Structure formats: structure tokens, C-alpha cells
Amino acid sequence: MTPSIRLSGAEVRRGGRTLWTGLDLDVAPGEFVAVLGPNGSGKTTLLTVLLGLLPLAAGTCEVSGSPPRRGSADVGYVPQQTSVDPLTPLRGRDLVGLGLDGHRFGLPFRGRAERTRRVHEALLQVDALELADAPVGALSGGEQQRLRIAQALVGDPGLLLADEPLHSLDLARQRTVVELLERRRRDHGTAIVFVTHELNPVLPVTDRVLYLVDGQFRIGTPDEVMTSETLSELYRTDVDVVRVRDRIVVVGAEDRLVHTGGGP
């Protein structure tokens, strides 16, 4: 089977600085990869590469067997939260619809019924039908985030890239979103790359972790990567990783990365 993502020897540079180099990573369809690391370690930049917005400085990158392409329908994207002005003339259904055909030029007359159906379905998937006619700018952060996920899923992508999608959601909503993503990858084989500061909410569904620190990285299952030994190596200081019930607590890297609270 063609991997959803294939990175080999990938190197990324930004502003003259090498963020990471020599990254080899294959992501299979339906796989859930959590990307962790302190701010500035190049987590979001990885998504930028996969979206086809930033070329690699070295190495190769393939998404579903071909080089990443701007605006590919096969890639869904949930961006880091940005606020929408309250008076922006945009309803929930408009935001989701833009994810489907907002990048297309021309008159919007063809396939209106099909468009309406798909937008409805995407809203249903994230349990946001009641937000369809609400002005996006008047919604809470969590409500906007659900619409963002619907916007990413409406094109029926084979790969979903999510940048801190649980940020500002309460625990119940976090669980809903994680269940939704879990169902999505199980039923549709959508591979998910999930950038986060907080592994615990997604720990039960995470297949592998990519942990980036200062140009160094480790890839493996949560059990392989989230150990005192591995993280101490990465951070080049003493870091303790403790399992408390079904959660992982990292001590010693707090000034750069916080793993407390927020577990399901």
C-alpha cells in the first residue's frame, strides 16, 4: 500500500537556521502520529512542508505517492487557532464550504445540492449542526474549533494534518474530538498527523510519536519514546518520565514543555 506520507532524509531550513535534518518517516493509511516538542522545534513547519507550502532544503517528501501539492483535496488541515472578527460575514456552513471549494475560481452554480449535502455531513460528523447558521465570529473557541475540523474533513481527505486542535477545548470536547478523529481513521483509513503540546488526551489513539527538540528527534511508539532515558538524551538534561495510571507525566522539561493536566 502507498504510504500516506513518506519523508526520507528530509531537511528543513527557515531564516538560515536548520530546524531538523535527516528525517525519515513513513506514515501508513489510518496511522495516528503525534508530533511533540517545545516551541520553535519545527512541529508546525513539518505541516507546512506536507501542505506543499515550503520546499525541503534536502531529501524528499511524498504525500500519497506524489510530491506535496498546494491545495490538494487529499489533505485536510486544521490550523492553529486564529480568532475571527465578530462582524465577519461568515456562518458555520460557509466556513465549512470554503474548505470544500473556496480555492476554486469560477461561478458557483454547479453541484449546489451535492455541496450542501457534504457540508451538512461534515457538520454532523463534528456534532455542530446547530452552528450551521451562527456567525463564526460570535462563537466560542471550542465551537470554532469544531467547525475547523468539519472544514478539514469536508473534502474527504486521506491525510489529516492538525495543529494543536485541542487547544482551548474543555475536557468533554477534547474527548469528543479525539473520538471523532479515531473513528475517522478507523472507518476511512485517514492518516492523522497531530501536532500537540499535550500527549495525554491522545495517548490511547497514538500509534507513534515524533518528538522534536532543537534539531534532534526520536520516532517510535509512545512506550519507546516517552522514557526518562530518551527524553533526557533529547533535552540534554535530566528529565523524568513517570506513568501515573494511564497518563504520562514529564518532569524536568517544564520550562519548555508542560505535560500536566488535561488527560481524558
User: Rule CB under 8 A: which residues touch another protein?
Assistant: 51-53, 69-72, 77, 79, 82, 84-85, 87-91, 94-95, 98-99, 101-108, 133-138, 151
The residue among 39 and 82 lying less far from another protein, judged by its C-beta, is 82
Q: Which residue number, 1 or 107, has a Cβ lying nearer to another protein?
A: 107
- CA torsion angle 9 16 257 180 (round to 10): -60
CA distance 41 to 87: 35
Reduce the DSSP state of residue 238 to 3 states and report it: coil
Q: Which is nearer to another protein, 104 or 245 (CB)?
A: 104
CB of 71 to another protein, least distance (A): 2
Q: State the minimum distance, in angstroms, from the CB of residue 177 to another protein.
A: 18
Measure the CA–CA gap between 17 and 209, rounded to whole angstroms: 24
CA–CA separation, 59 and 38 (whole Å): 24
For 66, the 3-state DSSP assignment is strand
Instruction: Compare residues 27 and 95 and give the one whose CB is closer to another protein.
Output: 95
Whole-number minimum distance, CB 263 to another protein, in Å? 26
Closest approach of Cβ 256 to another protein, in Å? Answer: 26
- In the bound state with another protein, the residue whose beta carbon lies nearer, of 165 and 201, is 165
Q: How far is the CB of 139 from another protein (least distance, A)?
A: 11
If phi over 0 gives left and psi between -120 and 50 gives alpha, with beta otherwise, what is residue 229?
alpha
DSSP secondary-structure letter at 4? S
- Give the three cell numbers for residue 184: 475517522
The terminus-to-terminus CA distance of the chain in angstroms comes to 33
Shortest Å distance, C-beta 103 to another protein: 5
134 φ/ψ angles, rounded to the nearest 5 degrees: -85, 145
Closer residue to another protein, CB minimum distance, 84 or 219: 84
